[in-house]
Structure 1
């Protein structure tokens, strides 16, 4: 309260005690130095300013700007047109004649209550905003930590195993990705690889990719312990993953293409879990989509996954995609045309994941996660 008249101060103090439901602390300033000190050291909900008692160093307009968005109640000697207009122009929330407080006491109390209620709402919104900003900061920090965990689970972006090279690119639509790729050498000749696309986006889908990595590792350990690795089956692996994901009760599922490459006889065994588009194989002058059927993993109690085996020539490329790549190709037209465009790119020798991504994405944004994994041998300029 900016006031120096003790009688008026006492009167306002008495009226303030009637304001409910607030418990008020009132600080008063009678001179410029006290006012400046209070403004520097306190946060106020409401300012009650007697315009006639303002120190010369301050104006009502300056104080209204300084208090904004908190309300300011201006006191003037007479509530005439001139005082009313100047007070409103300065930014005051309401204006009262201090000479009329005695017979307008209840109206003044109601005004104080209304302005304090507005201030309380502003303060609650500010606290909520600060709390929300802290929560968002924590969420961003958690997401970055989760992203680091997910990145650590991914294989090397380029590696060569048994004479076959593997390269991938994974572009998330958000911080975390629901797409996942893995390349796991089983021994000197056998390599398990897969590309999976978890339903949905964000943290919950990324969590399933962590579970997928863990479940795959456990399947491999069990096979190493109980059966020869040469008997490891992609289809049986998908059946095991399906059962384990259903047991988690997360209500999540994923599509997957999983293969086992045998470098000794250059054969590929693979199984499909509802994945689309199918991988593109290019060898011997022929470029085609692989065939295969299967249901998404984690969606059905009794799914179906068939298994295929094929021979790979000395020079070949096998390129796997998540369905996000088709979503950024809408300008190509129908789904069949988009798939044909992918086949044409691979047939033209655009097989490295970053080159493929640039060809289909351009400057567009990613509405969905995009993963591309390419296996190749004896590819010129690769």
Structure 2
């Protein structure tokens, strides 16, 4: 059940932002937040505090109901005031997107086993879709999926390799996407729910990446003869590509929400610096080269907010909104990168140091331009839509 309640969203968002600023921002210097993300110990400690404040998984009610996408946008933007905020509040990727998909596709038994601990914040999850480029596997093009699942009685046997799997280290719930044969000669995929860790899923390595906000980092893993009972198929067999869109369209938008909050924080820091820092006889902000950058930030922050709200409104109508989420992903991720880049520039040497959180926000937003579909793939998809609709239109 989704209810449209912007007033409720505003109330929760205000509480979330106060909590993140007062309780979570001090953790940004904690040594338990390392290059591969916050450790399990730190995650548990922050979530305990969010739970005590009544703010864990705040967009989902005790009865399982969700705030509307528009109201959720307010909450997730507030959580993003710190890169650690979404993790602390249990609204970070990949869990937030996995929770959303399981809530819409999983059966009741699967919800009790796999979804409930995710909502409670006592377990993390991983979404096993992307594969190593060296294997010719699926990346931006999921139809290239190489991992296979073959039925063997009342089980399925999965083999393959997966790459850039966020949060796999330390996760308790896995959603594995594998190629299956529907008998019609077309490429099909099926999603499987698995308990983690499993000896048939072997960690090859955790990648060193420029972003560092997600627990468990991003891993390459080998799946070798993993046996999964048929009752752990998510939804229907051979419908994995459809379910991926159920997950990815809203997930692209929730990424936009969280990182908009972070870029607002970066802009705050850069603005405060520009007002106080003197150069050539006056504050930096009084130099047009700096003041205009901050003005551009203000404009693009508002544009990003409006784009998110528009796309969220489309999703709230019940329309999948693939094209809309692609437009939002491109517009917002590119705008936020420009904003973060300007903040680094305004701060000068301080901007490339760890003295403020701005350099991390810059790194995180740079990665955001790639994950959940790089800008170029979304533009290509939109161009195909333009061609299709133009050719179908009367002339």
TM-score, structure 2 normalization: 0.21
Q: Which has the higher strand share?
A: 1
TM-score, structure 1 normalization: 0.21
Query: Computing the radius of gyration over CA atoms, which structure comes out larger, 1 or 2?
Result: 1
Q: Which has the higher helix share?
A: 2
